[in-house]
Structure 1
Amino acid sequence: MTVTSTERTARPATCQMFETPLIERFSRIHPITPFVFWLPVYGYLGVRAARHDVGLLTGLGLVLVGLFLWTFAEYVLHRYVFHYVGPRLWQRRMHFVLHGVHHDFPQDADRLVMPLGASIPLGIAFYTLFRVVFGPVPADPLFIGFGLGYLVYDGTHYAIHHFRMSSRWGKWIKRHHMVHHHTGENARWGVSSPLWDWVFGTMGTSQAGKGS
């Protein structure tokens, strides 16, 4: 049977997740919103770290450590939280709201970056964890690096699905993510970095389906 171009494009690009219009509205987010909200927060923490005399080299080192910690958190969250599908109806529903909607509608531009309703509580939780584990002074530069890693993740994810990636790295990371989308989704959990997929042996197959 021949599939016409109309049939190929008939699938909707988005869906309604919530019956309440206000909740539905807040389930969507413009891709620039995380940058507008979080960059001033990181700027404030940078100023506070300078006032605490952290030191330039020490501060930069802690930022890099925070960035490294983000790559691990990205892998773990994506693999074990976003893709967890429990046996109960509410667990399956939660999976769809958290991440399943993205796999069903990967070109939905309003659901490619994390809504502030999710990123703010997660940010508070991780910042609190850093203060408890590392102390209040190192926590600021650590969280800056962690947060910048998160913004790289959000920006990379959006670009993969909506921009033409022309650089060698861009083409590679786009293909890396498309393998995750098109070969059963049980591999390549890193979106902005393949580091932990290499470490844990979850690169999977190198064959990806067509499309973006």
Structure 2
Amino acid sequence: MVAEAFTVDLNKPLVFQVGHLGDQYQEWVHQPIVSKEGPRLFGNDALEFLTRTEWWAIPLIWLPVVCWCLSKSVQTGHTLSEVALMVVFGICLWTLIEYIMHRFLFHINTKSYWANTAHYLLHGIHHKHPTDGLRLVFPPAAAAILCFPFWNLIRLITTPTTTHGVFGGGLLGYVMYDCTHYYLHHGQPSSDPGKHLKKYHLNHHFRIQNKGFGITSTLWDHVFGTLPSAKIIDKKSY
């Protein structure tokens, strides 16, 4: 006897429903619902509040941390030009991390209850409701947790006096990424590179979701062969 397929009730909190989809979850989550109003994820008001973030909170919270990191680099004796090079390196490193996370973590295939639930919270909600303006940037509490492994990675590949500068650059890259991501969904760029990036990213959402993983840059899609064809990018279907 074949078990009846589970149906998600969009009028109820979603997080603890989606895990029941099992093998059907990947197909369900990649069928976008275009609506200005985002769904409710949790029945608990405090947890629900933590899932919603205004875009301006990202630069407001993290740019002071970037400035502090760069000032620490200057205090250790580095010149402004040396700090600028650290920042550029940090930004470039972030674009690679951005690509790797988006491709191999955010788009991991799941089918068990808790794996589906975790994926939905991490990235699935964004693909299911791509126009939900309060869930387009990473919640600061979650970003703060991810800062620890990022800091440790920077420490491994830098000297003690350059760690702060490179970390600050990487953090600046993250701020640029989240603000760019919001703009690509809700802004209306009239010229390149913004116009091209918007087409590129919306193509990832609405046409071919296993390619086009770069947000702030298409560089790593070129390098790793995940660049969609130009015909697909230019064809508007959303």
Q: Same fold (TM over 0.5)?
A: yes
Count, aligned residues: 203
Distance in structure 1 (CA, Å) of the matches to 2:110 and 2:236: 27
Residue 110 in 1 paired to residue 116 in 2? no
Distance in structure 1 (CA, Å) of the matches to 2:225 and 2:75: 43
Check the 8 A contact 2:54/2:134 in 1, yes or no: yes
Runs of 5+ in structure 2 lacking a partner?
1-32
Shift of 1:18: 1.5
Shift of 1:188: 0.3
Distance in structure 2 (CA, Å) of the matches to 1:78 and 1:189: 6
The share of aligned pairs that are identical, in percent, is 33
> Over aligned residues, Cα RMSD in angstroms?
1.7
2:188 equivalent among 145, 159, 164:
164
2:56 corresponding residue in structure 1:
32
Distance in structure 2 (CA, Å) of the matches to 1:10 and 1:139: 42
Shift in alpha-carbon separation, 1:12–1:77, aligned structure 2, 3 A: same
Q: Which residue identity is paired with 1:20? A: N
Check the 8 A contact 2:91/2:173 in 1, yes or no: yes
Shift of 1:21: 1.0
Shift of 1:209: 4.3
Q: Which residue identity is paired with 1:171? A: K
TM-score (norm 2): 0.81
1:4 corresponding residue in structure 2:
none
Distance in structure 2 (CA, Å) of the matches to 1:45 and 1:12: 37
Q: Deviations over 1:78-128 (max 9, x none)?
A: 011111132311111111111111111111000000001211111222112
1:70 corresponding residue in structure 2:
94
Shift of 1:10: 8.9
Check the 8 A contact 2:34/2:130 in 1, yes or no: no
Task: Please list every run of at least 4 consecutive aligned residues from structure 1 whose deviation after the TM superposition is greater than 2 angstroms.
Answer: 9-13, 208-211
Distance in structure 2 (CA, Å) of the matches to 1:68 and 1:142: 10
Distance in structure 1 (CA, Å) of the matches to 2:142 and 2:159: 25
Runs of 5+ in structure 1 lacking a partner?
1-8
Shift of 1:46: 1.3
Distance in structure 2 (CA, Å) of the matches to 1:119 and 1:203: 27
Check the 8 A contact 2:212/2:227 in 1, yes or no: yes
Residue 147 in 1 paired to residue 174 in 2? no
Check the 8 A contact 1:65/1:142 in 2, yes or no: yes
2:45 equivalent among 7, 16, 21:
21
TM-score (norm 1): 0.90
